[in-house]
Structure formats: structure tokens, C-alpha cells
């Protein structure tokens, strides 16, 4: 091969490498839109990933996975479900993750929106969970169902920590908003276990509830709160409802702490909800 041709090939390879190195990675088939909460004009980015088969099957309606804490949960769930969904071990689903209020600190937004009542001892704003749940019900879910081939009946909620607390709040106050709940390491301790005092509405339709917590989420292992006990109390409150419409599964993840439990919670919970058994999706 002539020297000049070798040089050109090497230069081309170097240019391609440089371009690849400077191109940020994006989650396949994903996009970000913004939705506004009409009462407050707060704007929330929403991350969306469509299934691999979405374009190939224009007649198909897909189940939807709804996540809180989008910057953290969206890449974890999109990555963890890629092989199970693409290999047929799990139903393909649309993934929707709601981020924090645009322009605010994430901690301020989530503490305000994921907590069920006002806590006088907290400096940051708390207690907006009911209004935020209405934002999901009236704005987010209708947008997804009207824009995409998204099921209005097979909807899974996933939340962790304060997001788990928020999921439990929805479960107690408007249980039929989602057909499945995956509640990870719920912050039942918030405001002296105020969640456990909420008035509970029984679901009118069958729902599935998966509660998961790490075995090391206790003060004995350096955690500030006993999340294991909180998950146990939440499970007991749900069982006390004695509702035939609730299928409940509670799991303790061996060796996991509060910082590491969520990925296992998400994929195992989704395997329980969307894995193996095939569900006929009806819009």
C-alpha cells in the first residue's frame, strides 16, 4: 500500500476517533420534553424512552413505566431493562421519568413534591405530594397516553426513598392511578411516620405492590433511619386493608444499603410486574 494512502487512512481514523470521543452518549430512542404544572406554572422536564419495537409495530399499545428522580433513575432503569426487554424476557415498555422543577435544586423540588404533609421541623418546603400527584394524573399521564401508543391501564410507578414515600402516598390516596407500584426503601419515617396515619382508599381495580429495602438500611449499619422497619410497617398497613384487589410482595435485599438498593429494587420489581407472564394490553 502506498505511503500516502496509509497516511490518509491513519488521518481518517484519528479524525473519526476524535469525533467519537467528543460525541456525548445518549440513551437510544430517548427524548426530553417539558410539562407545566398549571396551578403554579412550575416546569418539569420529562425523560422518555420508546421501546425498540415501537416503530416496527405501529398497531401495538405498550405498558408504561413511570419514574421519579429522573436524573438518577432514568439511566439505571433504561440500562437494566435493555437486555430483558430486547431478548423477550420482559415485556417491552415505554419508560417515562419525571425530573425536578426546572431551575430549582433537585433536593428542594423532591422534598417539596414527594412529601405528604408539612413538617414544621424542616427548613425546606414540604407537603406538596397531593398536588404533585394531581399533576401526574391530569398532565403527565394524559400527555403520554395522547402522544404515544401508551396503555392507560397498565402503568407501573417506581419511586425510591422519598420517591418511595410519594408512591405509598399515591397508593393510599388514589390507588387506581397506577396498576403496579414498585416502592423502594420508602421514607416512612418522614414527619414521625405521618404516612401511616393517612386515610387509606382501597383500590377498585386489581393492583400489584412490590416493596423492597436493603438489609443494611438501619442505624446499626450507619444509616440515619431504620428503613427496614419502615418498609415492614408499610407492608403491615397494606396487609391490614385485607383488599382482594392488592397483590403484595415484600423483599429485603441482602447486603444492600440505602445508596445501593435501588438498582436491584427496580429490575427485580419490574421482572415481577412485566417479566415472564404476558399481559394482553388493552387501551
Query: pLDDT tens for residues 186-231?
Result: 999 999 999 999 989 999 999 999 999 999 999 999 999 999 999 9
Please, what is the Cα angle at 265 between 261 and 270, to 5 degrees?
160
What local confidence, expressed as pLDDT, does residue 106 receive? 87
Compute and round to an integer the Cα radius of gyration of the chain.
Answer: 21
**Which domains are seen in the chain, by residue range?**
31-274 (3.40.50.1820)
Nearest in space to 174 (alpha carbons), one of 149, 141, 125, 146: 141
CA atoms within 13 A on the CB side of 205: 12
Cα dihedral across residues 61, 175, 65, 266: positive or negative? negative
pLDDT in tens, 9-67: 555 555 555 555 567 888 999 999 999 999 999 999 999 999 999 999 999 999 999 99
Hunting for cell 491513519 — which residue is that? 10
Task: Note the pLDDT of residue 23.
Answer: 74
pLDDT reading at 282 higher than 50: no
Say if strands 30-37 and 42-49 run parallel, antiparallel, or are unpaired: antiparallel
**104-114 mean pLDDT:** 94
- As a whole number of angstroms, the distance between CA 106 and CA 75 comes to 17
In this prediction the pTM is 0.90
Mention every residue, 6+ apart, whose C-beta is less than 8 A from residue 272: 208, 210, 249
Amino acid at each position: 500500500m502506498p505511503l500516502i494512502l496509509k497516511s490518509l487512512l491513519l488521518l481518517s481514523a484519528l479524525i473519526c476517533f476524535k469525533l467519537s470521543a467528543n460525541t456525548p452518549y445518549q440513551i437510544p430512542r430517548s427524548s426530553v420534553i417539558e410539562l407545566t404544572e398549571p396551578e403554579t406554572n412550575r416546569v418539569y422536564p420529562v425523560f422518555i424512552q420508546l421501546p425498540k419495537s415501537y416503530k416496527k409495530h405501529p398497531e401495538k399499545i405498550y405498558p408504561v413505566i413511570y419514574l421519579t428522580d429522573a436524573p438518577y433513575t432514568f439511566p439505571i432503569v433504561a440500562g437494566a431493562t435493555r437486555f430483558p426487554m430486547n431478548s423477550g424476557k420482559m415485556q417491552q415498555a415505554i419508560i417515562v421519568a419525571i425530573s425536578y422543577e426546572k431551575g430549582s435544586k433537585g433536593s428542594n423540588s423532591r422534598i417539596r413534591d414527594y412529601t405528604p404533609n408539612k413538617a414544621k421541623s424542616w427548613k425546606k418546603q414540604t407537603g406538596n405530594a397531593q398536588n404533585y400527584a394531581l399533576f401526574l394524573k391530569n398532565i403527565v399521564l394524559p400527555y403520554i397516553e395522547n402522544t404515544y401508543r401508551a396503555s392507560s391501564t397498565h402503568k407501573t410507578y417506581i419511586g425510591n426513598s422519598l420517591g418511595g414515600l410519594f408512591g405509598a402516598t399515591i397508593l393510599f390516596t388514589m390507588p387506581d392511578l397506577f396498576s403496579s407500584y414498585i416502592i423502594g426503601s420508602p421514607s416512612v419515617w418522614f414527619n414521625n411516620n405521618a404516612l401511616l396515619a393517612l386515610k387509606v382508599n382501597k383500590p377498585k381495580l386489581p393492583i400489584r405492590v412490590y416493596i423492597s429495602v436493603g438489609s443494611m438500611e438501619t442505624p446499626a449499619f450507619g444509616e440515619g433511619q431504620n428503613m427496614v422497619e419502615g418498609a415492614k410497617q408499610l407492608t403491615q398497613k397494606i396487609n391490614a386493608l385485607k383488599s382482594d384487589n392488592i397483590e403484595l410482595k415484600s423483599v429485603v435485599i441482602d447486603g444492600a444499603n440505602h445508596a445501593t438498593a435501588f438498582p436491584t429494587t427496580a429490575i427485580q420489581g419490574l421482572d415481577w410486574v412485566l417479566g415472564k407472564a404476558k399481559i394482553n394490553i388493552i387501551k
